[in-house]
Structure 1
Amino acid sequence: MQPLAYRMRPTNIDEVVGQQHLVGPGKIIRRMVAAKMLSSMILYGPPGTGKTSIASAIAGSTHYAFRMLNAATDSKKDLQIVAEEAKMSGTVILLLDEIHRLDKTKQDFLLPHLENGRIILIGATTENPYIAINPAIRSRTQIFEVKPLSEAAIKTAVERALKDKERGLGQQPVELTATAEKFLTQATNGDLRSALNGLELAVKSTPATAGTITITLPIIEECIQRKAISGDKDGDAHYDVISAFQKSIRGSDVDAALHYMGRLIETGDLPTITRRLMVIAYEDIGLGNPQACARTVAAVTAAEKLGFPEARIPLADAVIDLALSPKSNSGIVAIDAALADIRAGKAGSVPDQLRDAHYQGAAKLQHGVGYKYPHDYPNDWVKQQYLPERLKQATYYQPKNNGKYEKALAAQYHRLLAAQRH
């Protein structure tokens, strides 16, 4: 009766899907396991991304006892039982879900057990631990961010579940069509739990035909309650819609931008929408209207806190704001021009007067000698060379005149550039 996602939890570190920045070769959690030098930690990130799986894998790889509790619903007495077990039999790995809801009484009980190492705490939370978790717990743990899984990682886990005859669906004659599999990996937005549980529902609720349970795209859509966008059965339209979304805002067509975002909303793809809006704000609007960029950050934060369906409201406000704002891509053009010089080997040496002078002997090397402190001069500016000698005539920023803010920046830039080269 256990869900497929529960049954397929990894039994050792090698079975963890994704999160290679933590469990890949040479990475921190794998190093801990290999050295058998575990420390308490907090894993934070979106639901279904592997927090519990990593804890289970650590326990399986180290052969320590593994217990799971919830900080919100389990009592201090439950913690006491774990502590007694640790005292009797040695180290216990405790996965404490929703650790941000740990009250002071339970926290005070846990702290000495974390100090002496009898309990290795692995806290799991969807909240930012630097904000939501008490400093006393934070100071005794390492904090690791768990990220949404890639489509490739979810595909690996799905195929593993279909083949596994003991824990998975391997004993059933399942055929998952390519289009259904692709949509399953895309539409669950990096949430492996949703993908596996949706797959299991599809398999168990679909009758076999000619001895085979065939899972098609419409069945997966129904079981995960998401619709394939644009009717594109191959899923390729997902990227076309994202492209059209940005290009519509860049082109100031607010209605088209709302339409394409609506299609992304229908798939429940909040991470793609919010990330793309942040990129658009700074790439396409930028200095044309910096306040719109700031408002977009606020709207994204609100949307992530609210979740769907309410998230659509601040997102719509941001799209309208960005689409109708003055546009400027001068920021991205400027940094890319600077990078092009650097990558072409045109970096040059930092001028001596700008070099670090905060160490004994710097003056003998002429480092920092002759530097003019701008605040000592009228208007807090003085002419001096900042670029390396070989690049002293280089210019990267090309101002645009589409908004009041950048017009003012442009006037200041040209005025300072003329004074510097006069």
Structure 2
Amino acid sequence: MNKPLAYRMRPRSIDEVIGQQHLVGPGKIIRRMVTAKMLSSMILYGPPGTGKTSIASAIAGSTKYALRTVNAATDSKKDLEAVAAEAKLSGTVILLLDEIHRLTKPKQDFLLPHLENGRIILIGATTENPYIAISPAIRSRTQIFEVKPLNEAEIKLAIDRALADKERGLGQSKIELDPSAKNFLAQATHGDLRSVLNALELATKSTPTNQQGKIYLTLQIIEECLQHKALVQDKDGDAHYDVVSAFQKSIRGSDTDAALHYLARLLAAGDLISANRRLLTIAYEDIGLANPSAAAHTVAAVTAAEKIGLPEARIPLAAAVIELCLSPKSNAAISAIDQALTELKKGNYGEIPPYLKDAHYQGAKQLGHGLDYKYPHDFEHDWVAQQYLPSKLKNHSYFRPKGNSRYELALKERYQRLKTSQQQQLAALKSKIEKKDNS
């Protein structure tokens, strides 16, 4: 009974798994694997405490295969060798490889042949996005399943089981859990069952019995034992990417309150670097030409945040977030450069016109470089019609301004006016040259 309650209450079969019905429910993929005893290696990813280890334990219990646990970060290659030796002697072994995103190349190279021959069924567990953090060699040999946070009803079911189970849970004690405390446990942990059970066990062991011989757990006791009033994501975990994504999309969608919420989550995790980097990106990607001054203000806010650090950094960053949310939006700049890059990837680039090539070296004139170049500052309004794009692309247009603000509308009008003037004057010049050649 020295093992933690969360460990003792791990499911012994697939039927005891709480939550994750999209994977273990009737007719779903993992249940089908267990029923058919046709297990394949898999990676389970999701937030801490959501059941990755529990699913591995349930699979082993349902199939009667041996389950061995190795941590990719702290255990050595010898630990993997021991599992492989056991698999060779006894047949199939399920290997729960925790923190699989930290698997080193030597360990990976050792493991791959054993995955190929099927002696080891790998269940990798990670809080990070496997498509980002795990090597393609491992990914190609596994199925990837997302493990989701438990909902309130599922958390309450797990609490009830733990309180009732006399063999593995707390059923031997007379415990009365206040309904408000139970609701708090179900809500405040955001689907982290391990945190729920750890808090419940601590509260039980640290609370004396009352005159009726019961342990009465109040909301105040549970709050004190949980010490987890709000979700703060691990800045090195997969939730980090979700928060950053939601942060940018909230600003792009002009939802000031949501953006401030996600900024708070980044800052509460101490992740000032990600907040700063994302804000700078947003300022140019999503606001851009619609309000260039907002980008300048964001740079100033980020610079101030870097100099003063947390917690004061929250003040200039909040100001930047509010301004970006309420600014007009335009993605014309990122769309323009991405369109140009797409053309290049297709092989559309063509030859640079000779008069635009570098002429600042001896022999350039003999190559025809720089000849007939028209220096715009020698002409009225510092502009002259001249083809700058390669001939292959001369009619291409990448920049499509939206005119979502007065500033961008002015850019749009000037861009279109210059483009039209250039095309008309070049066409007239071409026609004049053709007439001269024909005469």
For residues 131-176 of structure 1, the C-alpha deviation after alignment (integer angstroms, 9 at most, x for no partner) is 2222222211111122222222212211211111111111111111
Residue in 2 that maps onto 1:138:
139
Classify 1:167/1:102 alpha carbon distance in 2 versus 1 (closer, same or farther; 3 Å): same
- What residue identity is the alignment partner of 1:323? I
Identify unmatched segments of 5+ residues in structure 2: 232-249, 299-308, 331-391, 416-439
In 1, are the aligned partners of 2:44 and 2:125 still within 8 Å (CA)?
yes
- Tell me the distance in 1 between the aligned counterparts of 2:413 and 2:157: 51
1:19-418 correspondence runs (5 A): 19-209=20-210, 210-227=212-229, 319-325=318-324, 327=326, 404=407
CA shift, 1:89, in A, is: 1.4
CA shift, 1:201, in A, is: 0.2
In 2, are the aligned partners of 1:330 and 1:400 still within 8 Å (CA)?
no
- Tell me the distance in 2 between the aligned counterparts of 1:13 and 1:116: 25
- Tell me the distance in 2 between the aligned counterparts of 1:265 and 1:199: 28
In 1, are the aligned partners of 2:68 and 2:96 still within 8 Å (CA)?
yes
In 1, are the aligned partners of 2:189 and 2:230 still within 8 Å (CA)?
no
Classify 1:166/1:316 alpha carbon distance in 2 versus 1 (closer, same or farther; 3 Å): farther
- What residue identity is the alignment partner of 1:88? L
CA shift, 1:323, in A, is: 2.0
Classify 1:63/1:326 alpha carbon distance in 2 versus 1 (closer, same or farther; 3 Å): closer
Classify 1:380/1:73 alpha carbon distance in 2 versus 1 (closer, same or farther; 3 Å): closer
In 2, are the aligned partners of 1:95 and 1:121 still within 8 Å (CA)?
yes
- Tell me the distance in 2 between the aligned counterparts of 1:213 and 1:131: 47
- Tell me the distance in 2 between the aligned counterparts of 1:103 and 1:264: 31
For residues 172-215 of structure 1, the C-alpha deviation after alignment (integer angstroms, 9 at most, x for no partner) is 11111111111111111221111110110001100111211111
Secondary structure at the residue paired with 2:228?
coil
Identity of aligned residues (%): 63
Classify 1:14/1:311 alpha carbon distance in 2 versus 1 (closer, same or farther; 3 Å): farther
Classify 1:207/1:112 alpha carbon distance in 2 versus 1 (closer, same or farther; 3 Å): same
- Tell me the distance in 1 between the aligned counterparts of 2:287 and 2:148: 27
Answer with 51-60 or 314-323: which moved more.
314-323
- Tell me the distance in 2 between the aligned counterparts of 1:330 and 1:316: 23
In 1, are the aligned partners of 2:42 and 2:145 still within 8 Å (CA)?
yes
In 1, are the aligned partners of 2:294 and 2:327 still within 8 Å (CA)?
no
User: Is residue 7 of structure 2 the alignment partner of residue 14 of structure 1?
Assistant: no
- What residue identity is the alignment partner of 1:9? R
Classify 1:290/1:2 alpha carbon distance in 2 versus 1 (closer, same or farther; 3 Å): farther
Residue in 2 that maps onto 1:364:
none
In 2, are the aligned partners of 1:326 and 1:402 still within 8 Å (CA)?
no
Residue in 1 that maps onto 2:6:
5
- What residue identity is the alignment partner of 2:125? A
In 2, are the aligned partners of 1:49 and 1:149 still within 8 Å (CA)?
yes
For residues 25-73 of structure 1, the C-alpha deviation after alignment (integer angstroms, 9 at most, x for no partner) is 2222112112211111111121111110111111111111111111122
- What residue identity is the alignment partner of 2:58? A
- Tell me the distance in 2 between the aligned counterparts of 1:143 and 1:313: 41
- Tell me the distance in 2 between the aligned counterparts of 1:160 and 1:400: 60
- What residue identity is the alignment partner of 1:63? K
Q: TM-score by structure 1 length?
A: 0.61
Classify 1:267/1:137 alpha carbon distance in 2 versus 1 (closer, same or farther; 3 Å): closer
- Tell me the distance in 2 between the aligned counterparts of 1:3 and 1:407: 66
Identify unmatched segments of 5+ residues in structure 1: 230-245, 297-309, 332-374, 382-398, 413-422
Classify 1:200/1:114 alpha carbon distance in 2 versus 1 (closer, same or farther; 3 Å): same
- Tell me the distance in 2 between the aligned counterparts of 1:158 and 1:107: 38
Classify 1:228/1:214 alpha carbon distance in 2 versus 1 (closer, same or farther; 3 Å): farther
In 2, are the aligned partners of 1:69 and 1:97 still within 8 Å (CA)?
yes
Classify 1:191/1:311 alpha carbon distance in 2 versus 1 (closer, same or farther; 3 Å): farther
- In our comparison, the structure showing a higher alpha carbon Rg is 2
In 2, are the aligned partners of 1:227 and 1:267 still within 8 Å (CA)?
no
